[in-house]
Structure formats: C-alpha cells, structure tokens
Structure 1
Amino acid sequence: MKSGVTSNIWLKRIASVFSLIYAVYICVLAFRSVFYDVIIKKPVVFCVYLSAISAAALVIMIYSRKQLATKLASLILIPALLPIILMCLGSWEMIIPLAICAVTIFFASGANEGTKTLLGTVYLLIYILAALAYFIFTSYLTSPAVQKTIEEGVSPSEKYRYEVINTTDSSGGCTTVMLEPNDKDIVRSSVTYKAKGYDRKLCVKRPLTEVKIEWKDDDLYINGERWFTPEQAQKGKCFEKESFF
C-alpha cells in the first residue's frame, strides 16, 4: 500500500514538471507576440493544435494541482497571457484555448484560496490598466495618413525582402521602399512569426511616385540606381534590431 502511494506521489511530481514546461511555452508565445508579428496562416489547424496542447496540459495540471511546480505554473499563466491578448487581439483561435486553460487551472489549482483571491484581484487590475494604457498609447501613435503596400518581393537569394508603400497624406503623399532581412522569421506549418524592428527605410520619394525595383544578385536597384548592397549592410550594421529603450 505504501509503495503504491509513493509511486503515485512521484507520478504527480513528474506530471507537475510538464505543467512548468507548458507555462514556459506560454511565456515563449508571449515573447513572440511582443517581438514578432504573429501571422496565422491556417487558423483552424493552429486552433486545434493549441487546443490539444492546452487540454492535455490542463488534465496534467489538475491531476498534479497540489504539487508546488503546478501551483507555480497556475500563477504564471494568467499574467503571461496578457501580452498575447493585447498584441494578438482578434486572433481568437489563439487566445481562447490558452485563456480557458489559464483561467481554469488558476481556480482549480491547489494554491491557498486567500492567495488566489489576492492574486486574482491584482491580475484583474493589471489587465484593466494594461489594456487602458495600451489602447491610449496606440491611439496616440495612430497617424491620419493612409498607407498601402503596392508591391513586395524578395531577393534572388531570399536573404532580403522589400515593400513599396504608398502613403496618402495632406502634403501630397510619398512612396517609400522598405528593406529588411528575410531570414529572421520563425516559420511553422500553420503560423509564421515575422520578426519586427529590422525594417529600414531605403528610399522615400515625394510626392507619390512610380518606382521600378530590380535585383542584380542581392544588389537592389530603384529606378536604375543602386540603393543597397549586402556589403553596405555588413559594414553599416543597418539591420541591427532597434532597441525599445
């Protein structure tokens, strides 16, 4: 009898390790939501994938809910979910499975009821304040100018990509050529995490202008003039990620 109880305890401890792994996975998704553009290519497939992982994690966490690692994981999930909700708002196929798992295990975990009540109140306030701050900040940065991508492509080696953007504003508008590396994305079968912060304005022409883009190897020509070479990128470090601070 004692041997059976001991083996059961160790099974729950092992299961609790998987709870932490799931919490780390959510933290990784939160990091990618902030520093990458999340482009869901196959919403149904991605939703099924996240639902399966979250359902399995939920069963494991409920089974091992009284273990310390699971209690810790249950307290991490809700705050870790906040960046995902803010940055991927509207991508419900991503948010809903993760939110159901996080909220359910928070209330079902073996953590002290007083602790859950206190942290639940704190989390609610954090969500309200963060959402308010985020929407005020994004509204403040919103420009009245209208931007439209009219052309995009990649270099022959697929190391670089460009976009031609027409901006309509009160001063006649402009045409901008943006360039960025094409090898920093994280590509999965159902979702792509497109790296942010590496794009550079290569050329800005006012007013709105037609531009002709040509690649000769990895040298980029705009209207017959060479504007970019890989050597310039290496020497000038023009694709170093911009700091948020």
Structure 2
Amino acid sequence: MEKVISFLTNKWFKFGVSFLSIAYPVFLGFVAWLFMGYYLEPTHQGALVTLYIFINLIFFGIMLFTRKQIVTRIVAIISPFLAFAILLFGFGNWFAAVPPIVVSVLIFLLSGTGETTKIIIGTIYLLMYVVGVLVYLTFKMLFGNITLMDVDLSARSTSYRYSPDKQYRIVLYVDPEGDASRSVSFYLEETDGDISLPFLECRNALGGIHIITSDYNKPADVKWKDKHTLYVDGRKREFNFDAVSTDDTSEDY
C-alpha cells in the first residue's frame, strides 16, 4: 500500500498525468465552437447533461490532483477565458455554461499559481465576465444573438426539407408571433458539415445561403427536383457554396 501511495504522489507521475489536463481547454474550445457555428439538437437531454457534467468532473479531478504542475497551472489560467466564450455564445444555456465556469474558477483558485498572479489575472477575468456580460446583453437587445451566422437560431424551425440525395437541406426561420410584418426566411445548408455526438446532433448552420424571404401567410413555394435541383416559385435556382450566387437575385418578397 505504501508503494502505491508513494507512486501516486511521485512528482514525475503527477507531471505525466498533468498533460491530460491539456485536453480540457481543447474540449472547452470545441464546445464554444459548436455554439458559434452549429444548431444543437439534443436527442436525450438528461443523458447529455449527465455526460457533460461527468466530463467536467473528470477533468476537475485530474487538474486538482496535478494542481501544482506547470502544465496544469497554464491550463488553469487559460480555461476561464474559454468558459467565458461558452457563456457568451451559449448564453441562456446554463447546463452548458455553469459546469466549465465552476470547474475553471475553482481550479484557477486551487492551482499552484502564485498569489500575485492569481490576483492580477483573477481581477482581469472578473472584469471580463462582468463587463462582457453587460456588453453582451446590450448587444443582444440591439442586434439579437451573437453567433458567426447572420440568422437568429432561436427562430429556426426543425422541420427540414432535405434534397433527395440528403446533401442539402432547406431551413426555415420564422419571425416571432405577433409581428405585424411577420415573415419566413428560407436558407440552404450543406449536411456534410454536420456532427453527430452522443445524445446530440449538431447541424452545421455556418455558411448557409439565403434563398428567399416571403410573407408568413403566403410563403414561397420551395421544392426539390432531381437530386438537389431547387425550384423557388416554379423557377430553377442555382447555388454555389464556394461563391454564393443564384440565377435569380429577387430573393425578398
């Protein structure tokens, strides 16, 4: 038993284990990227939340065990910033934002980083969180949700219309109810950029092409014909994802 304890407490063993903590900022960056460029559709909400919390706890245990190692100290300094990105781009999705924020803050405070460094960097992060959230809320009230896309994902409909070859899908974005000038916008997305994760489907919404915006009470007739040939109100529509263009520029109603 003493040999096991001696092995586990050996500084070189902890140094080796500390390299596993590098995966945590990679994981956080991946989650932030999903919120920026994808529409996330959980297939099992409870299982997804449980798995997500478990992953965060595993990394917390690894970093707590190696908190005095240089690698973990660097990770502890970087992680709060990535957790902040998840907070902003996934704002309102507290199941996604709270676990990494809690883990990042705790490991930052418990790591072997010097107290002076903690005070300086901690103050910067505190200001970043407070000011950043206030700026975000102001921006959201004026311009809507912050994403890398030009659409409001909260207005997205999940009633997709896939091309016969499943290479493309038509996505509808519907204005909120009660708007006097309510409209529906049709967008075209490629499906090869989608990502399937355990209990989660990530729909690639980045780079979608705007097809047409029409009156909600009299929506445009958008149909697929022959693999992925698209017709809008009876007119053939050409599209190119590399250089966005169509053969019909009258996209708005």
Q: TM-score range by the shorter chain?
A: 0.7 to 0.9
Distance 1:105 1:220, change over 3 A: same
Corresponding residue of 1:132:
134
1:214 to 223, 234, 248: 223
- In structure 1, the residue matched to 2:204 is 195
Q: State yes or no: 1:29 paired with 2:31.
A: yes
Q: SS where residue 233 of structure 1 aligns?
A: coil
Stretch of structure 1 that moved more, 6-15 or 68-77: 6-15
Gaps of 5+ in 1: 240-245
- 1: CA distance between counterparts of 2:216 and 2:88? 35
Q: Do 2:56 and 2:103's aligned partners in 1 also have CA atoms closer than 8 Å?
A: yes
Q: Which amino acid aligns with 2:112?
A: G
1:39 offset after TM fit, Å? 3.4
CA distance in 1, matches of 2:228, 2:42: 29
Deviation at residue 89 of structure 1 after TM alignment: 2.3
Mapping of residues 90-101 of structure 1, within 5 Å = 90-101=92-103
Aligned residues: 231
Name stretches of at least 5 consecutive residues in structure 2 with no aligned partner. 146-153, 247-253
1:204 and 2:225 correspond: no
Instruction: Tell me the equivalent position of 2:250.
Output: none
Scaled by the length of structure 2, the TM-score of the pair is 0.78
Matched with 1:242 is none
Aligned amino acid, residue 183 of structure 1: D
- Tell me the distance in 1 between the aligned counterparts of 2:34 and 2:99: 17
Contact 1:43 1:93 in 2 (8 A): no
Closer, same or farther: CA 162–141 of 1 in aligned 2, 3 Å: same
TM-score (norm 1): 0.81
* % identical aligned pairs: 23
* CA deviation map 1:64-93 (0-9, x unaligned): 111100100111111110111122123222
Q: Deviations over 1:103-129 (max 9, x none)?
A: 221111111112112211110101111
Does 2:233 match 1:223?
yes
Q: Deviations over 1:182-214 (max 9, x none)?
A: 221222121233333322221234584243332
Report the counterpart of residue 152 of structure 1 in structure 2: 160
Letter in 2 for 1:129: V
Match of 2:240 among 215, 228, 233: 233
